Amino acid sequence: MPSLNQDSGVTALVDRLENDGRTAAVGLRDNQPVGVLARGKRRAVLRLTLEVGIADVRAGYVPQNKVAAVRT
């Protein structure tokens, strides 16, 4: 897994989510971060993504639809 230090926005988001007691997972494509999946309170997650500049936020997917959402 590549170092996320290259993308301070992703690193900051993951740190904030985890410091707030949430679980965060970074999705990679070609060894580059392309998304962050977070489990926790939706409102807090949305606020944090906006603070670090992530414009494409998707929530409320059932498990079988998450893979298709990440691929688009």
pLDDT at position 6: 60
Phi, psi dihedral angles at 24 (to 5 degrees) = -125, 140
Query: What letter does residue 32 receive in the DSSP assignment?
Result: E
Residue 14's CB is within 10 A of a number of other CB atoms, namely 21
Give the model confidence (pLDDT) of 4-54 as tens digits: 556 678 888 888 888 888 888 888 888 888 888 888 777 777 777 778 887
pLDDT at position 1: 42
